[in-house]
Structure 1
Amino acid sequence: MDGDQNHHKPKGRVTLLDVAKASGFSKSTVSRILDERLPTADNPSARHVREVAEKLGYVRDLSAANLRRGSTGQIGVIVPRLTDTVMAMLYESLAKAAGRNGQFAIVATTDDHPDAGRAAAEALIRRGVDGLILSTARIDDHFTDELRARHIPFVLALRQNGQSLAAIGDDPLGGYLATRHLLDLGHRRIGLITGPDYATSARGRLEGYCKALEEASVSLSSDLIVPSTFSIESGELAAETLLKLKDRPTAIFAVNDNTAIGALSAIASFGFSVPHDISLVGYNDIPIVSRLPVPLTTVKVPFDHIAEMALQLLNNASEGSSEVRIATPSLIPRKSTAAPRSH
């Protein structure tokens, strides 16, 4: 009986050598036939090798290929969650930018848990990615130190830690622009729905808020600053806290469009309207906010530019560099902001 009709699956991972032995061809011939980067050969020998590989359960070892070639053309992207439109937009921008470079972006999610970030990174590294782009940086986590110690190329995106390569938006400027817009309209009681303290993006927007108030000689009131987790639900709860104040704000700046959407829900549940009773500003300019019943004034973040910068840093920077590239945001005024009503 011919060998191709009676071969036994080897124990453990099936290798090119196993396929070569079972098919009767040399390892180099089998490698060429099974290399997905090359045009698919359609002749009896090639079909025979592919049939044997399939019967044996051969799966190409990407990490081994990476070691041989020095590159797989794959970039690992780690985000907290793809249900967050901001993170989905970042990933799409990275995928498009990678495609223009002849690279392919693979995404993994962490739900903003540090341990999950480590597991996601390990899974991507095992797939042989050329490097990692992380939008999960936390001030209270030292995961990037571990990656650096292992000589794994990585770049941070949207958030930074002050020690690593990063491509981010100018968050202090964005926070300043949003708050300055409300001040220019005449608001003085401006509530802030800020983000988690471990995220430099949230801290930067808070910094910009404080700077704008200081410039306008408006005193900072701690009761007007309420934290959130960047989610719609947390934005709703934070807005409820602000609206229950005896001297409630006449405007709210939410440092994320999701939290602004949550705030809209809370404002409606209190019987108030935007902007007649309270003005509202978001941040990021996700697609839905321009199509809400009251289109949302927000700060636009140039995700495509940030993605391009992140890939440039990943592909070109030398090990040990801590260069940070910063993209400029812009205020997009819409119908959710207006001058405060006179009391």
Structure 2
Amino acid sequence: MANDLSDRKTSGRVTILDVAAAAGVSKSTVSRILDERLPRASNPTADRVRQVAADLGYVRDVSAANLRRGTSLTLGVIVPRLTDTVMAMLYESLARACSRRGRSAIVATTDDRPEAVRAAADSLFNRGVDGLVLATTRTDDDFASELRDRGIPFVLALRGDGHSAASLGDDDLGGWLATRHLIDLGHRRIALIAGPEHASNALGRVEGYRRAMAEAGLPVDPSWVVPSAFSIEGGAEAVQGILKLDPRPTAIFAVNDNTAIGAMSVIQRAGLNIPSDISLVGYNDIPLVSHLSTPLTTVRVPFDQIATGALELLLAGSTDEQRIATPTLIPRATSAAPGR
């Protein structure tokens, strides 16, 4: 027992689940015994739980307790960065949805780094938020499970993990709509700026692209699919390799408007015309893209609907429900038949 306790002490933050496991009782029993608001129990089980908690170095998370009681009327929103227009639009939509419910929202940014997500969550906990909306979920990290183990209310937005409560866009459908649009215009060699492989929304759009190509009986050359960051720089870098292909694709679907803008700048600097030399489709319909010199064809994401869904799931205490919002293709001047 002593060695086990020593191991637990050195393995990281001690949770109520650690105390329950070491004491051989349920999580709810530990919570009840260690809750200072309740009368102090005096019996062998309570004594054992308090001793195990002391031996493990357990410190009650007051902020988590406040979250479960839902007392602050404030929600914490964690996004990769607010310089990303998509994330700024999501946060603004969440703030409006909160305001309609008599609540407020505060935001923390992480630069899409898992360790920064944890620090942001701790910071928001310390400010007493009632729950978290996470737009930072990664396929290579399972922070949602950590929150679930601690009993922290949360919901995922834009990016999901397949088992937590989430309000998402139908990214597979959106990728299919963008690609099908280009196919219907007559394109057969369609490249893809695929976004980051750790983001489920990018992966969904990639699947939609592949599904549309397969349904049309069109092959996908591996060299046509290029991962990228969700950024202008990422799109600019990705498209350079695509333009060197022989034969060159006649169209590009970029799974994010920022990457499409980056690609557009490189294409135009290369002396090529959009759309007569190469068509381009983006994703999200951020406000800027309709005002470009050549307005961008894109897929519109209903951010207000996603934000409202996330708030409703969080307030309802859902742990696994999925809300899926339908995107819409917005044809503009950057897509046309090949050679037009």
CA contact (8 A) 2:68 2:151 kept: no
Q: Distance in 2 between matches of 1:65 and 1:189?
A: 55
The equivalent of 1:333 in structure 2 is: 331
> Is this contact kept in 1: 2:67–2:131, CA < 8 A?
no
Q: How far off its partner does 1:247 sit?
A: 1.0
CA distance in 2, matches of 1:119, 1:64: 15
Q: What is the count of residue pairs matched by the alignment?
A: 279
CA distance in structure 2 between the aligned counterparts of 1:215 and 1:261, rounded to whole angstroms: 28
Distance 1:254 1:340 in 2: 18
For residue 71 of structure 1, report the CA deviation from its aligned partner.
Answer: 1.1
Aligned counterpart, 1:136: 136
- Matched ranges for 1:172-183 at <5 A: 172-183=172-183
Q: Deviations over 1:157-201 (max 9, x none)?
A: 000011200000000000000000000000001010001111110
Q: Which runs of 5+ in 2 are unaligned?
A: 1-61
CA deviation after TM superposition for structure 1 residue 276, in Å = 1.3
Q: Distance in 2 between matches of 1:64 and 1:156?
A: 18
Written as runs of structure 1 = structure 2, the 5 A alignment for 1:139-150 is 139-150=139-150
- Structure 1: any 5+ residue segments left out of the alignment? 1-61
Corresponding residue of 1:157: 157
Q: What letter corresponds to residue 88 of structure 1 in structure 2? A: A
What amino acid does structure 2 have at the position aligned with 1:294? T
Partners of 1:200 and 1:151 lie apart in 2 by: 24
C-alpha distance in structure 2 between counterparts of 1:283 and 1:235, whole Å: 12
Q: Distance in 2 between matches of 1:68 and 1:209?
A: 41
- Displacement of 1:287: 0.1
| C-alpha deviation, 1:63, in angstroms | 5.3
Rg larger for: 1
Query: Alpha-carbon deviations, 1:261-281, whole Å to 9, x = none?
Result: 000011012110111111000
Identity of aligned residues (%): 65
1:37-89 Cα shifts (integer Å, max 9, x gaps)? xxxxxxxxxxxxxxxxxxxxxxxxx9599589741000000000000000000
The change in CA–CA distance for 1:202 and 1:101 in structure 2 (over 3 A counts) is same
Equivalent residue of 1:105, what SS? Answer: strand
- Identify if the C-alpha distance between structure 1 residues 184 and 129 changes in structure 2 by more than 3 Å, giving closer, same or farther: same
The corresponding residue for 1:245 is 245
Contact 1:65 1:72 in 2 (8 A): no
- The code of the aligned residue for 1:338 comes to A
One-letter code of the match for 2:87?
A: M
| Correspondence 1:208 to 2:205 | no
Deviation by residue 1:19-52 (Cα, 9 ceiling, x = unmatched): xxxxxxxxxxxxxxxxxxxxxxxxxxxxxxxxxx
Q: Indicate the residue corresponding to 2:300 in structure 1.
A: 300
Code of the aligned partner of 1:213: M
Maintained 8 Å contact 1:195/1:230: yes
Q: TM-score, normalised by structure 1?
A: 0.79
Residue 289 of structure 2 corresponds to: 289
- Write out aligned runs for 1:1-343 (5 A): 66=66, 70-318=70-318, 321-341=319-339
Distance 1:251 1:133 in 2: 36
Q: Is the 8 A contact 1:193 1:254 kept in 2?
A: yes
Q: Please give the alpha-carbon distance, in whole angstroms, between the structure 1 residues aligned to 2:64 and 2:235.
A: 46
TM norm structure 2: 0.80
- Could you report, residue by residue, the CA deviation over 1:203-252 in whole angstroms, capped at 9, with x for unpaired residues? 10000000100111101110100000111001001111100112111000
Contact 1:74 1:129 in 2 (8 A): yes
Distance in 2 between residues matched to 1:189 and 1:302, nearest whole Å: 29
Partners of 1:172 and 1:206 within 8 A in 2 = yes
RMSD: 1.7
Report the secondary structure of 1:307's partner residue.
Answer: helix
